[in-house]
Amino acid sequence: MGASAANTAAKANQAQLDAQAGQAEAASQHRAEQERRKADLMISRGLAVGAASGAGTSGISGMLEGIAAQGETAAGGTLYEGTERAKGLRYQGAVGVSNAKQQGTASILGAVGSSLMKFAPSAPPTMYGDGAGNFYSSPSGMVNQVF
């Protein structure tokens, strides 16, 4: 009964960790969108400043491309971080369920083993031979017949 309770608790913990994993992924996706939006705002500001100064956009295009690349790199790193966190949480839940199953199996095998020990002889019988190929379980040869 204890093994069943441990398995149920491990599965409940796994479900909770799976929910946390989903939240970690969603949060990282939200942060990645914020990184992209921040880069877009910086690009927009750069275009506005360039146009206001009369320089146009040709002179700052390389800088704007760098800002876009940096924003995408930040977004990708944030997504990666969230995915790895989610993987870790899901793995932790799976390990917990696996351990509960192994403990349940071990407790069942231990119970079966201790039950079988009740029927095992305390010590094997001592065998004696008479030199002619006859073996007995007592030195006199009278208590058990020849095997």
Over residues 32-60, the pLDDT tens digits come to 999 999 999 999 998 888 778 776 666 68
Got the DSSP string for 90-140?
A: HHHHHHHHHHHHHHHHHHHHHHHHHHHHTTS-SSPPPPEE-SSS-EESSTT
Mean model confidence pLDDT for the chain: 80
pLDDT score of 29? 96
Over residues 102-141, the pLDDT tens digits come to 876 766 666 666 666 666 556 555 666 666 666 555 555 4
CB-based contacts of 79, cutoff 8 Å, min separation 6: 28, 29, 32
pLDDT score of 144? 47
Q: Is residue 33 part of a domain?
A: yes
Q: Is residue 128 part of a domain?
A: no
pTM of the entire structure? 0.60
Q: Is residue 117 part of a domain?
A: yes
Q: Is residue 53 part of a domain?
A: yes
pLDDT score of 15? 92
Q: Is residue 82 part of a domain?
A: yes
- pLDDT value at 10 more than 70: yes
- pLDDT value at 147 more than 60: no
For the chain, what percent of residues have pLDDT higher than 70? 65
Contact 103, 6 (CB under 8 A): yes
Q: Is residue 135 part of a domain?
A: no
Higher pLDDT, 96 or 145: 96
How many domains is the chain partitioned into structurally? 1
Q: Give me the domain span that covers residue 31.
A: 2-121
